[in-house]
Amino acid sequence: MRVLAAMSGGVDSAVAAARAADAGNEVTGVHLALSANPRSYRSGARGCCTLEDARDARRAADVIGIPFYVWDMAERFDRDVVADFVAEYERGRTPNPCLRCNEKIKFAAVLDRAVALGFDAVCTGHHARLDRGRLRRSVDSAKDQSYVLAVLNRDQLDRALFPLGGSTKDEVRAEAASRGLAVADKPDSHDVCFIPDGDTRAFLAGRLGSAPGSIVAEDGTRLGTHGGTYGFTIGQRKGLRVGAPANDGRPRYVLDIEPVSRTVTVGPVSASLSSGRQVKA
Amino acid sequence: MCGLQLGLVGVMGKSEIVREGPGQGQDCRVYLDHAATTPMLGEAIAAMTAELAHLGNPSSLHNAGRRARRVVEESREQIAEAYGARPSEVVFTGGGTEADNLAVKGLYWARRAERPQRRRVLATQIEHHAVLDSVQWLASHEAADVTWLPVDGTALLRPDSLRAAVDADPDAVAMITVMWANNEVGTIQPIAELASVARERGIPFHTDAVQAAGQVPVNFAASGADALAITGHKIGGPVGVGALLLGRGIEPVPVMHGGGQERDVRSGTLDAPAIAAFAVAAQIAVKRQEEEGARLAGLRDELIARVLAAVPDAILNGAPPGLGRLPGNAHFSFPGCEGDALLMLLDAKGIACSTGSACTAGVAQPSHVLLAMGAGEARARGSLRFSLGSTSTRADVEAVGEVIAEAVERARRANKS
């Protein structure tokens, strides 16, 4: 099979590409340039897809012995993932951009391009398994990423390869080391790849501006003001900045976000617990 | 990358080099990217290898140093002769980019120091980034007032365009820079006429002849230019060595300060082995230029014919094949394609070529040369450059003809996704 291996410069995608090659596939590595600011150097564990990451991916491809290219998807990424992320927050919701990226970029834009260029499948380093065409969780439940792949349809899954699902993260790192991949020790990227400093609130403030509103108690009592509902998510405890403590002295949690009136309702933990939560894909 | 096999028979003295042509290299069977770099000539490798075994800093006064110095000076004379210059006009550098930086920055600073009002720099829109970025840097950091000279649809600069631009304020012009031949689309400029416009007004004229030097006759004295940049690795010599030919009486402010080598113009220990190889390559290139030029032009014209036959709506960019275009250069735009998809597809088939544009952050940008020619972004992005050279054969041309139609079709499909 001709396989396009998406290589982020991280250890997972590097080992995944190596395994795909070992399995006898004709593998080509591709680093997706998604960042609007690739010149920023990666420091610490946050963020992704800087020039340094491209270099790490290239070096991994060298070691594995596969061709390597960089594909510029920054414009589409900004349109399909970043803009969607901002819009969702504006609507008072908390999005997961990784879902959108897999749905629109990795297994759409990239997959479509790959198929047109003669590839049979796209391989990634996601911790997930495909079991007779069905998406399954990784054996490593702490690192499982099947939830961000759940948006993929049948056609997309049929052309996907997830070589890491049967391994734990530790096993993957050990394998990277034994394969001589320098990224074996590279820290994982957490948080949102396009917010390298991890400050989502500041990022959104930059995009959405100041949109002040009220923070209220369940009974409607006004408790304070906020700079934008995008700074909150349901169940959030930290960063509420209400000023005065609750009457019962217990911590407050975000119960509701109403974006039109820009009202954030907070209350005790008992009011925040529920038996279910609707997750929209 | 391109595994041309070279067997070295005898290291010292004897230059019996067995070189296998393309078709036997493992990684790229068809090398059509000579504009990026050229295979080193066996004779140049032999000269460099021989000199590598010797010890001595060419600036040292003792026997070992003088021996090395002699190699450098003989090489200087050979290069001077090859390009119509005096030995004293040859300044060795670490390559073409360095030579261009020295000319652009050094001449600007020198001219401005003489007269502070001289802040104008005139450069074409199609210069190589070594010149372009240097000029842009002068604009953003050294208060240079840049006039970007426009070119026509074939990338040609007309002397009357230059004249008009200069005469807008001639006394304020620090220097003018126009490349001899464009590395992307192969168009050759009327350098002698352009240089004379500068000369008439007493303005230093620099030309980046990095691409032209191996392929067409380049004579420094006859050109009328005051500064001319050349490099080793485009003419079958090594990477890492070049020269700025500098007319007498022109003293650029140095970029490299240090031990004062090259008349204080360019400090740094001279790389005798590389310089020796550079000189050998220059001599051979100039000697073979006429015959080789004709041979390459023939192959190139056949490549053009095959590509246009396979992809009838492909567009040949640059000057029409003939005296106005580098003999080995063929540059096309393929409507509906992305150049980097085409490059990838051809690479997978063992054919090495280029999109001809500089890489920013590892990702190709639309060619500034094509944009300057009025091509528009889509056409600029959908371009491919094939450049032939010393090892190119009919088989290379045929190989392209065989795969280009399918590659274009796939790239078009990929573009729609």
pLDDT at residue A188 is higher than 80: yes
CA distance B314 to chain A (A): 19
pLDDT band at B15 (very low <50, low <70, confident <90, very high): very low
Which pLDDT belongs to residue A48? 64
Q: Is B411 within 8 Å of A117 when comparing Cβ atoms?
A: yes
Co-location of B307 and B385 in the same domain: yes
Does some domain include residue B320? yes
Q: How large is the average pLDDT for residues B214-242?
A: 97
**Do the beta carbons of residue B327 and residue B320 sit within 8 Å?**
no
A74 vs B contacts (CB less than 8 Å): 363
Which pLDDT belongs to residue A133? 87
Q: Is B362 within 8 Å of A51 when comparing Cβ atoms?
A: yes
Name which of B363, B414, B416 is nearest A72 (Cβ-Cβ). Answer: B363
pLDDT at residue B214 is higher than 60: yes
**Which residue shows structure tokens 């980046």?**
B208
Name which of B361, B364, B414 is nearest A117 (Cβ-Cβ). Answer: B414
pLDDT above 70 coverage of chain B, percent: 91
Between A95-99, B269-273, B323-327, B351-355, the lowest mean confidence (pLDDT) is in A95-99
**Do the beta carbons of residue A278 and residue A248 sit within 8 Å?**
no
| Residues forming beta bridges with residue A131, ordered by sequence position | A134
pLDDT above 70 coverage of chain A, percent: 93
| Segment B142-153, tens digit of pLDDT | 999 999 999 999
Between A99-108, A153-162, B299-308, the lowest mean confidence (pLDDT) is in A99-108
∠ CA B14-B16-B22, rounded to 5° = 150
Co-location of B103 and B21 in the same domain: no
pLDDT at residue B213 is higher than 70: yes
What is the domain-level CATH number for residue B73? 3.40.640.10
* Per-residue buried b or exposed e for B86-117, using 16+ beta carbons within 10 Å of the residue's own CB: eeebbbbbbbbbbbbbbbbbbbbbbbbeeeee
B359 carries an active-site annotation = yes
Q: How large is the average pLDDT for residues B382-400?
A: 97
pLDDT band at A5 (very low <50, low <70, confident <90, very high): very high
Residues within 8 A of B (CB atoms), A 88-127 only: 109, 112-113, 115-118
pLDDT band at B3 (very low <50, low <70, confident <90, very high): very low
Instruction: For residues B103 and B109, give the distance between their C-alpha atoms in angstroms, rounded to a whole number.
Output: 10
Residues within 8 A of B (CB atoms), A 41-80 only: 51, 54, 67, 69-72, 74
Q: 3-class SS at A252?
A: coil
A54 vs B contacts (CB less than 8 Å): 361-362
Does some domain include residue B336? yes
pLDDT at residue B19 is higher than 50: no
Co-location of B188 and B99 in the same domain: yes
Which phi-psi region, left, alpha or beta, contains residue B218 (left: φ > 0; alpha: ψ -120 to 50)?
beta
Q: Is B362 within 8 Å of A33 when comparing Cβ atoms?
A: yes
Single out the residue in B282, B298, B329 at which a domain terminates: B282
pLDDT at residue B1 is higher than 50: no
- Chain B nearest-CA residue for A40: B361
Give the number of other Cβ atoms within 10 Å of residue B244's Cβ.
27
- Residues of A classed as catalytic: 101, 193
Q: Is B361 within 8 Å of A38 when comparing Cβ atoms?
A: yes
Instruction: For residues A29 and A68, give the distance between their C-alpha atoms in angstroms, rounded to a whole number.
Output: 5
Co-location of B342 and B220 in the same domain: no
Name which of A33, A109, A115 is nearest B363 (Cβ-Cβ). Answer: A33
| Segment A42-101, tens digit of pLDDT | 444 445 667 788 899 999 999 999 999 999 888 899 999 999 999 999 888 989 898 899
Name which of B340, B363, B410 is nearest A118 (Cβ-Cβ). Answer: B410
Q: Calculate helix-pair angle for A169-178, A11-22, nearest 10 degrees.
A: 70
Co-location of B33 and B54 in the same domain: no
- Chain A nearest-CA residue for B1: A67
Co-location of B316 and B226 in the same domain: no
Co-location of B325 and B248 in the same domain: no
CA atoms within 13 A on the CB side of A162: 28
Name which of B344, B361, B363 is nearest A39 (Cβ-Cβ). Answer: B361
CA distance B347 to chain A (A): 9
pLDDT at residue B223 is higher than 70: yes
- B191 to B24, B72, B157: CA distances (angstroms): 40, 29, 10
Which helix (H) or strand (E) segment is B387 a member of? Answer: strand B383-387
pLDDT at residue B8 is higher than 70: no
CA distance B383 to chain A (A): 16
**Do the beta carbons of residue B122 and residue B111 sit within 8 Å?**
no
Judged by a CB distance cut-off of 8 A, whether residue A40 touches chain B is no
B348 vs A contacts (CB less than 8 Å): 28, 67, 118
| Segment A133-170, tens digit of pLDDT | 899 999 999 999 999 899 899 999 999 999 999 999 99
Co-location of B276 and B324 in the same domain: no
Average pLDDT, chain B: 92
Q: How large is the average pLDDT for residues A174-191?
A: 90
B362 vs A contacts (CB less than 8 Å): 31, 33, 38, 51, 54, 70
Which of A146-150, A191-195, B13-17, B360-364 shows the highest mean pLDDT? A146-150
Co-location of B25 and B122 in the same domain: no
pLDDT band at B18 (very low <50, low <70, confident <90, very high): very low
pLDDT band at B27 (very low <50, low <70, confident <90, very high): low
Instruction: For residues A26 and A20, give the distance between their C-alpha atoms in angstroms, rounded to a whole number.
Output: 8
**Which residue shows structure tokens 């391994």?**
A167
Give the number of other Cβ atoms within 10 Å of residue B222's Cβ.
12
User: How many domains does chain B fold into?
Assistant: 2
pLDDT at residue B16 is higher than 50: no
Does some domain include residue B310? yes
- First-to-last CA distance in chain A? 31
Which phi-psi region, left, alpha or beta, contains residue A132 (left: φ > 0; alpha: ψ -120 to 50)?
left
| Segment B62-103, tens digit of pLDDT | 999 999 999 999 999 999 999 999 999 999 999 999 999 999
Tokens read off for B189:
């400029």
Does some domain include residue B143? yes
Q: Is the ipTM of this complex over 0.90?
A: no
Tokens read off for A253:
């949690």
SS (H, E, C) A204-236: HHHHHCCCCEEEEECCCCEEEEECCHHHCCCCC
CA distance A39 to chain B (A): 7
List, in order, residues 6 or more apart from B190 with CB less than 8 Å away.
B156, B157, B159
Best B28, B346, B413 member to test A by mutation, with max A CBs in 10 Å, is: B413
Which pLDDT belongs to residue B161? 97
| Segment B169-211, tens digit of pLDDT | 999 999 999 999 999 999 999 999 999 999 999 999 999 999 9
Please tell me which residue, A118 or A189, carries the higher pLDDT value: A118
Name which of B348, B362, B414 is nearest A113 (Cβ-Cβ). Answer: B414
Single out the residue in B282, B307, B334 at which a domain terminates: B282
Is the pTM higher than 0.95? The answer reads no
Co-location of B131 and B149 in the same domain: yes
Q: Is A117 within 8 Å of B410 when comparing Cβ atoms?
A: yes
B414 vs A contacts (CB less than 8 Å): 112-113, 116-117
pLDDT band at A191 (very low <50, low <70, confident <90, very high): confident
What domains can be seen in chain A, in order of their start residue?
A: 2-185 (3.40.50.620), 210-272 (2.30.30.280)
B344 vs A contacts (CB less than 8 Å): 28, 69, 117
- Of B9, B82, B21, which is closest to residue B46 (Cα–Cα)? B9
Q: Is A67 within 8 Å of B361 when comparing Cβ atoms?
A: no
Does some domain include residue B163? yes
* Per-residue buried b or exposed e for A171-186, using 16+ beta carbons within 10 Å of the residue's own CB: ebbebbeebebebbeb
- Chain B nearest-CA residue for A69: B344
CA distance B298 to chain A (A): 32
Does some domain include residue B1? no
**Domain range spanning residue B175?**
47-282
A71 vs B contacts (CB less than 8 Å): 340, 363
Which pLDDT belongs to residue A245? 80
**C-alpha dihedral, A97 to A102 to A103 to A109, nearest 10°:** 120
**What are the start-end ranges of the H helices in A65-163?**
74-77, 83-90, 97-100, 110-116, 146-149, 154-158
Does some domain include residue B119? yes
Single out the residue in B235, B259, B282 at which a domain terminates: B282
- Chain B nearest-CA residue for A68: B344
| Segment A18-55, tens digit of pLDDT | 999 999 999 999 999 887 665 554 444 445 667 788 89
B340 vs A contacts (CB less than 8 Å): 69, 71
**Do the beta carbons of residue B87 and residue B275 sit within 8 Å?**
no
What is the domain-level CATH number for residue B392? 3.90.1150.10
Co-location of B225 and B320 in the same domain: no
CA distance A32 to chain B (A): 10
Which helix (H) or strand (E) segment is B410 a member of? Answer: helix B394-416
Q: How large is the average pLDDT for residues A193-222?
A: 88
**Do the beta carbons of residue A64 and residue A29 sit within 8 Å?**
yes
pLDDT at residue B350 is higher than 70: yes
Co-location of B255 and B329 in the same domain: no
